[in-house]
Each structure stands twice: as structure tokens, then as C-alpha cells.
Amino acid sequence: MLLIPCPYCGPRPELEFRNAGHAHIARATAADDQGWAETLFYRDNPKGVIAERWRHFSGCGRFFNALRDTVSDGFLASYRVGEPRPAAPPPIPEGEAPRIGAGEEPRP
Amino acid sequence: MSGQHRTPRGGRIDRARPIRFTFDGHVYEGCHGDTLASALLAHGVHLVGRSFKYHRPRGFLAAGAEEPNALCTVTRDRARTEPNLRMTQVELYDGLDAASQNSWPARGFDVGAINDLLSPLFAAGFYYKTFMGPRAVGGTTMWAKLFEPVIRRAAGLGRPPTEADPDHYANRFAHCDVLVVGGGPAGLAAALAAARAGRRTMVCDENPEMGGALLTHPAAEVDGRPAAAWAASAVEELRRLGATVLPRTQGFGYYNHNFVALTERLTDHLAHPAAGAPRERLWQVRARHVVLATGATERPLVFPDNDRPGVMLADAARAFLHRWGVKPGTEAVVVTAHDAAYRTALDLHRAGVRIARIVDPRPRPAGPALDAARAAGLPVTAGGTVIGVKGSLRVSAALVARSAGAGATDHEAVPCDLVLMSGGFTPAVHLFSQSRGKLRFDAATQRYLPGDAAQAQSSAGACAGAWGLAAALDGGSAAGAAASGGEALRHAVSGDHPEDGGGTLGTLPHGRDPSRVKAFVDFQNDVTAKDIKLAVREGFKSIEHVKRYTTTGMATDQGKTSNMNALAIAAGALGRTLPEVGLTTFRQPYTPVTFGTLAGAARDELFDPVRRTPIHGWAEARGARFEDVGQWKRAWYFPVAGEDLHAAVAREVRATREVAGIFDASTLGKIEVVGPDAAEFLNRLYVNSWSKLGVGRCRYGLMLNEPGFVMDDGVVGRLALDRFHVTTTTGGAPRVLHHMEDYLQTEFPELRVWLTSVTEQWAVIAVQGPRARAILEPLVEGIDLSSGAFPHMAIREGAICGVPTRLFRVSFTGELGFEVNVPSDHAAAVWDAVWARTEALGGVAYGTESMHVMRAEKGYVIVGQETDGTVTPDDLGLGGMVGRAKPDFVGRRSLSRPDLVAPGRKQLVGLRTEGTAVLEEGAQITPVPDPKRGAHAIGHVTSAYASPTLGVPIALALVENGRALTGQTVYVPMPGGAIPARVVSPVFYDAEGERLHG
Amino acid sequence: MRFSFANLVRQSFSGHQGWPEQWRDPEPKAAYDAVIIGAGGHGLATAYYMAAEHGLRNIAVVDKGWLGGGNTGRNTTIIRSNYLWEESEALYDHALDLWQDLSQVLNYNVMYSPRGCMMLAHNIHDVQVFKRHVHANRLAGIDNEWLTPEEAKEFCPILNTSERVRYPILGATLQRRGGVARHDAVAWGYARAASALGVDILQRCEVKGITRDASGAVSGLDTTRGPIATRRVGVVAAGNTSVVMGMAGVRLPLESYPLQALVSEPVKPMMPCVVMSNTIHAYMSQSDKGELVIGAGTDSYISYSQTGGLHIATHTLDAICELFPAVRRLRMLRSWGGIVDVTPDRSPIIGKTPVPGLFVNCGWGTGGFKATPGSGHVFAHQVATGEPHPINAPFTLDRFRTGRLIDEAAAAAVAH
């Protein structure tokens, strides 16, 4: 079970969250049919770092974005909706534990 | 008497507390602290079962979790029977009833042993090469009909229970700073270091007593105390420091982000468990740091007939002697490539076991262990080998060759009743590997050792390759200190032998025809060295292939004793190094874990929460039948006087249409949408336009998913300019709120809107029928119910029976109707009042089935029944609701995709049939009465009922170009022939909607 | 040497020394007429049918690991064809037809065992959906029948059909030709038969690049065992399809998820058939060895790690213990994960890609094993002729543009 860094609440167990797929998909309603199909369905599905959406469903209820390595499942960053994707974090040195749960302290 | 092979003193057992137990119907006596294995060995019982495939007689190979042979079934009562338990782990209790497995009629004389004679046929993978028979006839195959049943009956291990397990299982989530898996010297030292540094510490060990190797080295001292006493004091100190100490607890799975699963055995060792006490507990631990101190497992040597009862791992004999005070034989031959077995031989010798020979295949073994053995007068054959044993049900001699590689003729039979073997020790890196740490092959010692950790984790002691008590204690201390920021403690050790070493992998040289002998690698699955070589010859070149083809390592011991030997034999056959051949994956669990433990409390009502409405109790008392809708229990119908579903529904529907009916609609999802931009938000989430909806008015809303298909529907009422009361389907409520939050938070964050689920806050009583107003009028305060003041599709706030209500004038029946929303706490009382009025006027309470029938008579759709995720608003005839002028709403872009505007889409229609037979829901529709096999269906029946109102069967259907087919006949092919049906409007009753406005 | 009882007896007298390698382990050639990427069941079947039915012998199957080492060897081996939509019915029933005599055709006992595949209905919606399947299947000539709870109990006596459980069983569908097969044997059988026809199976040969000529068409592959020239490439890489296709610059409507399965310790026969419950998420059968084979769900997030969370497995065991209360004292012996490639409509993509010469067969999600022979058979046609077999014609990439989805998931909650 993952330990997911909610940017609002801090690290919490996966049971409290729902994954909501790839992040940063522009809703290109003006695109042609192929472009719209790509908005709806086509995905990078990367083997490596993914920017993905989570919702802290049984917590603060907020959607947020996170960077995660899909090979190790280690989280690299989490950030709020609307914030740009952080620059590619440095690769995790071999043998070092993935940095997880780097969330901020809960706010009042 | 607990057995003639019991030592007079020593061991961790209590000779003063005898225990009577039964094995295969014979009553024996053991001691408190015994395992079933130690107790049987104390009576000289070695033959304890038969092997899986060849039915070879088998005894104990090991003394712990790695035991492959000695499996038994333990039965407490009919429901509490458990197969495949390792006798080396079954703790004795008074009255224990155990039976051996896989033999008939008896383990001493087993008919299945014929398989051993036929074994040349049963080589690895033989079943892939035969038993195919001619091709399938009549839907079955020769394999399935003839061969498979025989194989299935022969396979399997123990008999499964046949009754439901009455026991309970517990679950606990835990967090800690340092979790230590393994309570041997390394684990205890690590836990001590962490606990003394003030960290929240947990330590678990699979055994009833913590201490591991400290318990099997009575001559050793730690910090000036006997090793076992030191272990006990360490446990005591840990408890005093507040650490969680978990004996009988196996760390079985290492998952992501330092999440480790443990299983604790709570009552299986008790003769009389307290009633209701949980049998086992699943611990799910999130640790900041994990120290693995899981030890090492001794490897068997691979030589012909190394599986005979009485052939045992040397370290197991040491454990039986020192832990349980049992001499596993009277006269032993020790075959070893590792120095530790010399120490065991010496200990056995001192305990009175005659050491007939120590055979060491290493060409020039040397060192203090050998010196000590020689000094004690033990005969050592260095550079020799064992080419087999004599004896079938029990070993009677070892065939010792003076030099390794000599021919089978050049050997002597050394009489013995015990053969101890040691190929060296394999670090237990299972959990490390599960944590995705990279294993590193140490060529010098031919071992896989933990390499770089992938999580916050370290390994200490024998699992990290350290040898000896001092090294384990030091390693554990250092790991515990590093994990906790504390100090590494030094423990003084004496009587240890850290200089011991050695080990070998693969087959011992034996000079016999390798195709004629059986040298076992995987004992439980009866995999021999020649099976592995055959697999390699047949082109299976990766260890993963070899494993699957031969099944080596796939038995219930998960290859703990066999994997490295199998790997070495495969590598040898391929002429490659071990790392080139690869390593099989270490999978969870480390040892098998009870399903019940993993399922925990999730059974019966706790399997999934039951959601009940406030009116549930009333319905139950009225004898309602319920249906499951999601987690909800909904009243399905209210039978009276033995009515069946149809009779009840006919009565409910007629009464509702003639007088009135009331219906518990509380399960409908309710979301309050509030904020200055609430209308705009709904504009973007529903196909409809909301801006012009007046305060106090309602509208039926249709929600699409982004691909353009109907996802949900419901009535939305506007309470104020900035406040909407949104209803959803029962099953769709959580999905819809999640969907709304998603768009609000991520796509339209500029909108000032707040969403609140109020499903549980508002109970809903639908009052429907011509007398609906008459029912409510005396109960409602502050709302003018007259048609002029309160028209259809309006919403008012006021009070009913003195409690607040949001009163909707809506109808899902086609009759004059109201939906009374009241706070849930008051719903039962309001329902009672409404029911009293309804009953007095001759109305009824109706359930979901009547609701379905009445809405179908009106052609109202149910999302999930008329829709299946492929249906657009236009398909339902609801295209007119789509606010085409709106610049955007979810799903809008998709509605113009080519297939969504293509001709020939399925459209909602009504179907009428002759006679009284009701069409079957889901039945297919064809244009011709006699479709050929594989013919295209132009649609299907979505809903079908006997209409009590019309007195005829009605159906709704989705049919290609259905609206254009109105008036034409289509066919519903059924097993008895096609049923003709006329395509009609989906609105069967009161097409003008006059009744709504009554 | 043919596999037969006679040869087995003969070999047993000589210590089985005479069996040859089941497949060759050749060095890669510089060029092939076509290359299949992915030596799982689907890829090997594709190569076999390309050789056996389309006469292509100068072809290869490449794999970064060992043949059959991916989802083929990790699934719960359920076979059935009682799907809802006509396109799916045709595809899966084509496969089921091929299963009937696959052992004989390949001369390899794949142990196809039509033990019956039962799907449980737990609520009225399930009943409606499953009956729709029964009717659709009957029209298509596919066996699938409706059972009452009593009939279901009779077919599978350990099933808990009590009305007092949380979600009582209201009925079930049964496809009698449904069942199981031995997964490894399917991969090995196709590999042996393909190799015998001249197909080169190149293991430990990872594709690192897909090269294209000036026109944009495929011209070859860069692999860890050297470059391979070829004008036709079929990608059958399951969970790694997005990665491989990315080398040709092609993005797909695919996401890769961990899917877990587990087995119990072996016990004597207690489970005569396959039982599936989509509603409470439980799938179970018993292997010939005696292990209860249990399918768990996918984790919620994209991952290539081949592991999943414990809570996914425990959730499945909740349901298994509820349906089969006698198994509660049995033990989980082994659990594992695969990477499944899932499309938005839970139906596969089999056909052309925007790159000339590059074909793809992917998106089988959690249910690809059952389709192995059919998938290989139609994809062989696609790659060999460049044009789709009528059965795979609807399974295009273009359906995601037009909206003509083949959505098994929407109607039945989960497609398995």
C-alpha cells in the first residue's frame, strides 16, 4: 500500500486516496476528432516518471498532482492543481530510498 | 514418558508438563514446548508421510518453516480442520489430533508407492507430452474427460475442510519507527538499540520463543550470561521499554513504502482457546525503518536417496537436540561441506549419539571445527562423498565413498539410523528481495546477499551473510542504531565459532548412473537433479523456465531448501555461472498465510457495510422484500397474504394510480450545489441549461461523461439563485459527486461553487397518485399545495409534521406526485404520519419494483437499465434537452464524434406483444423471425413488465433506427421460437401527461 | 520427436536422454520478413499461424526476457467466450474454437479443460445484464445458460448460496465450454511448433529502437542482440506496449496497471469449475495440482513494477471467503503481479498503426489469456497480409476517434 504525499495533509495511506489518471491533459474541445480522441483516451503511459492526479478522497477531498516513478512506485513530488509540473527531479541514487511523504504540515 | 530419545535435561521444553496427543490414531506423550515434530522424534518416529508425486516415504528434513516433507492435517472438530501444516511448526497441545497426508492405507504401506516404480515415466513435464487424445468431441476433450480427473485425484496435498470456518480473525494497522523482522541475535540486538534510543520499536519472530540461534548454542554466553538467558532478558527489557514484541509472528510480505505485513498466531497452540478469541491477527505495519534479521536456511546435499526418513539437515538436528531435548537418532553419519555440522556432530556425540562417520566432500577441509571433531575421536572422511543410503522407511546405512567422484563400486556401507547433511547456509533474503532491494551474488561464498536497499531498510545477521553469534549481535546493534540514531551497543560473546565456514551447491559427486538414481532437490515436489538436467536439455535455459517446467521451488515451502541447489544444477548443465542463469522472484508470502487472516473481519454484515434508510425498520416490519442496490437495502415490494412479486406489484401499481402510493426514495443521491456560480457550474456538468430555471422550480437533468454517453440523471431543484438541490441515481451518487468535484477543482477552478453530499441528511418520501395532495395537505405547513401555487416541477420549503421539509412536486410514476424531503432523524415519524393518511384513504406503500413498472409505463428511463454506457441523449429520445446553445458542457464535444451522429444508432422505443407473456429483459431483437446463427441483432429489450395499468405486457427496447420503425414488427428470438413485437412509442400511458397536473 | 505416450515410454527406458530441445535458440539473422515483438502466448501464436497458415518462415519473435515470462505465465487461465457485443463474441469464440484441439494441433498438451465457467449474479442489475449476455450469446451460437442458485450450487457444491449472506447469489450464467488451460504449456507449445516451422525465437533480445525509412515506414529494429532489418513488425508486448510503440513515435490509448493473482496451497479436489463474480470481485478455480487459483483486481495507479498492494489481495480474499466459506482455513501460498495494458473500452486493439509496416495487438487488459489462439490467428493474418481478418477488423485504433467503442466494461461493470 502506497504512502501518498498529499500536499495539504501530508503523507497518508493509499486507502484514503483515489487515483485519477494522468495529469496535465488539456481539455482540447476545439480539436478535430482525432485531437479530441487524444484528449479523451491517448496517454503517455510512461515507464518512468509520471505526472498523475490523486484525490485525497477520505481526507481533505482535494485533487492534487504528483510525480511518481512507475518502475519503483516511489513518489518524487506532489503539488497543487494549477501549479506547473516541477522540473524533472534528479534520479534517485541507486540504493537510496525514494523520497516519499514530503507533504507540508496540515493547515488550520 | 515423552519418548525414549529424549535427553534427560536441556532444551526449552518443560518435562514436568506432559501433553498427550494423537498422530495417525496413535496416542503419544510429549512435553510442553514441543512441536509435533520434536515430540514424534522423541519417540523415534521418523516416517511421517509420503511425497507428492512418487509417494516416497518421508521424514523430517528440517526443524522450522523450511520443512518440505513433514506435512500433516490437524483437526479440532469438523469445521476446524487444516491440511498441509508443517509438523515442525505445529505446537503441541493437550489432545492435538494430527494425521499424515498422501498415503493410503497407511504411511508405512502405501499403495500409491507404485508411482515410485513407474517414476521413469513420470519425468519432469511428462504430462505435456501425452494424455492428449484425439481432438475435442461434444465440447469436451479426452484430457478433461479421462486423464485430468485421475491426475487431479492423485495431486493435491491434504484434504480441504468442507465446512465454514467458525473462527475469528483480527486485523491491526500499526506504525513504528523501527520494525525488526526476526528475533534471533541480530534482531534482538537491533530492537534493543532502537528501543534504548527511545524509538517506537516492533520486533517479531515466527517462533513461540524469541532468540533464534541463541537458543541452539547452549555453550555460548552473551554479556556473561548463557545465550538463551540473555535472549530472555533482552525480551524483558524490550517490553519494559514499551517495544511491541511479537512471538509466533511471521513477517511474510514486504510491500511499497516500508509497508510490511505480519501474521500472528494467537490460539492454535492452545488446547482450549477462549470462546470468540481471534485465531490469528494480521498486522499491517508502516515503519520508518525496517531491519531484516531473518537468518539463514541450511541447504541439503543432493545425493541419491537423500530423501529417506532419517536423512536430515544437520542444523535441524542441532535444533532438535538443544531446543527440544531430542536425539534424532542413535548412530549418525554426518555429511557436510560446512564446518558448522562438525559442531553439531560434537554436540550430538556429547549427548550420547554415536557419530559413525563425518564425511566432508571438500578436498582438504581444515580448521578448528575439524580439529575439535578429530580431538573428540570422531572419524572423518575428508574429500569423500555419500553416494546413497540404504533403507526405505528409515535410513539404515550411508554409502560412503572415500573420494569424491569415485565409482559407485568403491564405497562402504556405514550403518546408521541418522544421516545429517549440510551444504552450507543460504541467507534468507526473501523479504529483502520483496522490498525490491537488489541482490548481489558473492562469488567467493556462492551466496546471494542483500545489495543496495530500495527502501528505508537494512539487513543484519545471517541474512546479510554474517556468521556467528557475535557478528549477528554486532550487525544487529549497528543496524538498530543506524535506524534510530542511537548507539551501537557492544555485546561480549564467548563460546562462539565465527571462524567456521564452507558450503557447496548442487549435486554431490556420486559416480552412479544419473538417469537411474533419484537425488532430490525439491523434496516436496519430488524434483530430482535429473529432472532439472532434462529441462535444460529440452531448452529451458532460464531458471524461471526450469522452475516452471520441473515445478522446483513451487511447493508449499517455496523452495527455501531447494532453490539454490536447483540453480546450481541448472547452471552446471548450461555451463554458465549462477547470475547468468538468473534467480527466481521471491514472492509474498514468505510462508503461507491463512485466507481468513487476510480477510480479517470482513464477513457477513461486515463484508460490506449495509446502508439502510430511516424507513427501513417500518418496511421490514411490514414484511417487505428487499433488494440490494449498491450498498443500500431497498424495499423491493410489500407482499400481503402470500402474494408473489407480480401480485404484489399489480396491487401496488393499481392502488397508486387509483388512489395513492408512498415510496421510500431516501437512497437517491443528493448534492447541494451552492455559490454565486452554481448555475453556471450545472450548465457545464449537465446537458441542460440552468441559468433560466426560476427559483422554486425543478428540472430533470441529464449528465454525460466526457465521451458523450449518459452517465447519470436526476431532478435538480433551485432553492435560491445560488443554491441547487441536485438528486442523482442511487448507485451513482458517489461517482457523480467525485465527477463534479473533479471538474470543479481541476477544470473550472474559477467557479465559486461548493458541493456537499446531503444524501444521508435528507430522507425522501415519494407520495404519488391522484390523492397525493389530499394525503399531504393536513400535514404540511407553510406551503400552498394547490396546483396553481405549486405546479408540477416546482420545489418549496416549509414544514411537515412540524419538521422542515424541502417539498418537490415531481413524479416518476406519471401521477400527481410529491417528494417529501425531511431530515433523516425525523423521517420515520413523518413516514408514519404520511402512511396513516395514505392507509386511511385506501392507498399503499410500494417498492422499487412497482416504481420500475410505473415509470416504464410512462417511458421514463433508468440509467443503467435503458443505458449501458453507450447511449446518448438522442438515443433516448431526449436530444431536445441538450442545450445546444451552451458553449460547453461535459460530453458536448463528443456528441459530434462520427459514430455518435451516424445513422443507424439504437434508439429507445416501446414494444408491444400479443398475449400475456412478458418479454425477457436482455432478449435480442432481429428484423426476421428466423435469424441464422451469428445473425446481427438490431437491438435488445431493456425493460419488460406485465403492465397492471394497461393489462398487457409492455417493454422498452433499444433498436437501431427504432423511432423510424414505429408501427413495424420486429422479432425477439427465444429458444421456443421468435416472438413478434410491434414497435411503439415508449410512452404507454397518459401520453399527454394530464395526470401529472391533477 | 513427436510427443506421444509411446515416445514417452521409449524415452523412459533411456533416462529421457533422447528428447531434443523444444525450440531452437538461434542467433539473430540480419534480416527477417517480419518480426513479432513479444514472446508471450499471443506473440508466439501469431508467429506460429504466420508460419503455418501464411507460409512465412523467415520470421522471428523477439523478447526482452524469456518466452512466456510475462502475463502468459501470470494469469489465472480462465477461458470463456460469453461476451456481450457481437465483435467480442466473434473474437473470443474464434479463440474458443481453436482451443478445442489446440493440444493436437500443436502436439503439446495444453490441458484445455472445459470445466465450465460460471459467473454469479448478486443483484437484479446483474441478473438483467447476465441474461442479456445469455440471449446475445444464444443468437451468436455461443453456449451460455442461466442457472438458478440451486443449479449453481449443484454445479459447484462449495458455493455459498445461502440467502443470509451480504450479497446472496440470485443466479448465474454457465458456459460449459469455458474452463481453464495450462498457461505455460500454451506458450511452450506455440514456441515449439513455431520453432519447428522455422520461426526464430530470440530471447533476451530487447528492442531498443524501431527504425523507419524516408517514407516513414518501418525498416528495422535495434536490439540488444544487434540490428535486425525488417519491413513488417507486429507489437504484442502487453503491459510494455506503450514503451515499445513510443520507439516509433506512436502514442496509444493505453494504460498499464498492476494486476495481482494468488494461489492457495494444494489440496485435494474441491472446486470443479471456474467461478467468477464481477460484483464482489472474486475469481477462482482449482489447478490440476490442487492449488486454488484466485484472481485479484488491479491497483488503481499506473505501474510497471509487477507488484501491487496487499489490500488488493485481501479485498479479493474477503469475497472468496464469503463465496466459499470452507476455504477460510486454507492458506495463500504465492501471490504475484503482472502488468496489464488497458484500453478505455476494455477491448483490445488489433490492427494497423499510423506507421506503415507497424502493427499492434494490445489492450487485452485482464482477460487476454483466453483469447490467445484467436488473437494470434487473426493478428497473423493482419501482419502477413497487411489487411485485417474480418474478426479483428472492428478492433481498430480508429474507433477511439469515431466513438464506435466496443465497451464490455460499461455493460458488465468489469470485463474478465
Residues B119-139 pLDDT 10s: 888 899 999 999 887 766 666
Hey, which residues 127-166 in chain C have their CB within 8 Å of chain B? 128-136, 138-141, 143, 158, 160, 165-166
Cβ-contact B440, B465 below 8 angstroms: no
Across the interface, do B898 and C140 touch by the CB < 8 Å criterion?
A: no
Three-state DSSP state, C415: coil
Alpha-helix runs per DSSP H in C141-168? 149-155
* Whether pLDDT at B972 is above 90: yes
Cβ-contact A4, A58 below 8 angstroms: no
Give the whole-angstrom CA distance, residue C371 versus residue C368.
5
- Which strand ranges, in their side-by-side order, compose the sheet holding C292-298? B593-594, C331-342, C255-264, C292-298, C282-286, C274-277, C117-121, C171-175, C145-147
- Which whole-number Å values give the CA distances from B373 to B417, B632, B902, B919, in the listed order? 20, 74, 91, 89
Strand B844-845 and strand B661-664: the pairing is parallel
Cβ-contact B243, B201 below 8 angstroms: yes
Q: What is the CA radius of gyration of chain A?
A: 15
Write the residue in C255, C344, C401 that is nearest to A45 by C-beta: C255
Residue B813: CB partners within 8 Å, gap ≥ 6?
A: B656, B657, B661, B768, B769, B851, B854, B855, B858
Residues B584-643 pLDDT 10s: 889 999 999 999 999 998 888 889 999 999 999 999 999 999 999 999 999 999 999 999
Nearest to B870 by CA among B894, B853, B888: B894
Instruction: Give burial (CB, 10 Å; 0-12/13-18/19+) of B880.
Output: exposed
Write the residue in C268, C336, C411 that is nearest to B868 by C-beta: C411
A98 — pLDDT class (breaks 50, 70, 90): very low
Give the whole-angstrom CA distance, residue B710 versus residue B698.
20
- Which strand ranges, in their side-by-side order, compose the sheet holding A63-69? A18-22, A49-55, A63-69, A75-80
Across the interface, do A21 and C344 touch by the CB < 8 Å criterion?
A: no
User: Best interface-test mutation with B: which of A53, A56, A62, A63 has the largest number of B CBs within 10 A?
Assistant: A63
Q: Which residues of A touch C253 (CB under 8 A)?
A: 37, 41-43
Q: Which residues of A touch C307 (CB under 8 A)?
A: 73
Give the whole-angstrom CA distance, residue B45 versus residue B23.
10
Cβ-contact B194, B110 below 8 angstroms: no
A90 — pLDDT class (breaks 50, 70, 90): low
> Which domains are seen in chain A, by residue range?
1-26+46-88 (3.30.2270.10)
> Which domains are seen in chain C, by residue range?
29-78+183-253+345-411 (3.50.50.60), 114-178+255-342 (3.30.9.10)
B371 membership: H or E segment, kind and range: helix B368-375
Cβ-contact C324, A17 below 8 angstroms: no
Residues B460-478 pLDDT 10s: 999 999 999 999 999 999 9
* Whether pLDDT at C414 is above 70: no
Across the interface, do A33 and C305 touch by the CB < 8 Å criterion?
A: no
Three-state DSSP state, C71: helix
Give the whole-angstrom CA distance, residue B978 versus residue B274.
64
CA-CA-CA-CA torsion sign (A80, A85, A86, A88):
positive
Strand C34-37 and strand C59-62: the pairing is parallel
Give the whole-angstrom CA distance, residue B162 versus residue C278.
25
Query: What torsion do the CA atoms of C82, C88, C94, C100 make, to the nearest 10 degrees?
Result: -30
Three-state DSSP state, A40: helix
Residues B96-124 pLDDT 10s: 999 999 888 888 888 888 888 888 888 99
Q: Kindly state the cell numbers that stand for B454.
A: 530500495
Q: Which residues of B touch C20 (CB under 8 A)?
A: 538
Strand C358-362 and strand C233-235: the pairing is parallel
Q: Kindly state the cell numbers that stand for B919.
A: 418479454
Residues C330-376 pLDDT 10s: 999 999 999 999 999 999 999 999 999 999 999 999 999 999 999 99
Write the residue in C65, C125, C135 that is nearest to B864 by C-beta: C125
DSSP A22: E
Residues C102-144 pLDDT 10s: 999 999 999 999 999 999 999 999 999 999 999 999 999 999 9
DSSP C308-353: --HHHHHHHHHHHHHH-GGGTTSEEEEEEEEEEEE-TTS--EEEE-
Strand B632-637 and strand B661-664: the pairing is unpaired
Half-sphere exposure at residue B937, Cβ-oriented, CA atoms within 13 angstroms = 28
Give the whole-angstrom CA distance, residue B88 versus residue B794.
75
Cα B68 versus chain centre, distance:
24
C401 touches chain A (CB under 8 A): yes
Angle of helix C86-100 versus helix C124-140 axis, rounded to 10: 70
Average pLDDT over residues C193-197: 98
Q: Which residues of B touch C128 (CB under 8 A)?
A: 865, 921-922
Which residue of chain A has the CA closest to C305?
A: A71
C393 touches chain B (CB under 8 A): no
Residues in chain B: 998
Give the whole-angstrom CA distance, residue C340 versus residue C312.
15
Nearest to B924 by CA among B939, B911, B945: B939
DSSP C9-30: HHHHTTTTTTPPPSS--PPPPS
Residues B186-203 pLDDT 10s: 999 999 999 999 999 999
Average pLDDT over residues B659-667: 98
Average pLDDT over residues A85-106: 49
Strand C117-121 and strand C282-286: the pairing is unpaired
Q: Which residues of A touch C255 (CB under 8 A)?
A: 21, 43, 45
Half-sphere exposure at residue B127, Cβ-oriented, CA atoms within 13 angstroms = 22
Residue-level pLDDT at A102: 34
Residue A32: CB partners within 8 Å, gap ≥ 6?
A: none
> Which domains are seen in chain B, by residue range?
14-116 (3.10.20.440), 170-296+427-494 (3.50.50.60), 300-423 (3.50.50.60), 504-591 (1.10.10.1100), 904-998 (2.40.30.110)
Cβ-contact C245, C235 below 8 angstroms: yes
C214 touches chain B (CB under 8 A): no
Give the whole-angstrom CA distance, residue B331 versus residue C260.
49
Strand partners, B982: B912, B969
Which residue of chain C has the CA closest to B630?
A: C123
* Whether pLDDT at A91 is above 60: no
Give the whole-angstrom CA distance, residue B360 versus residue B385.
7
Residue-level pLDDT at B113: 84
Residue-level pLDDT at B103: 84
Q: Which residues of C touch B128 (CB under 8 A)?
A: 3, 108-109, 182, 185, 188-189
Residue-level pLDDT at A89: 65
- Which whole-number Å values give the CA distances from B976 to B325, B746, B933, B958, C391, in the listed order? 77, 55, 15, 23, 30
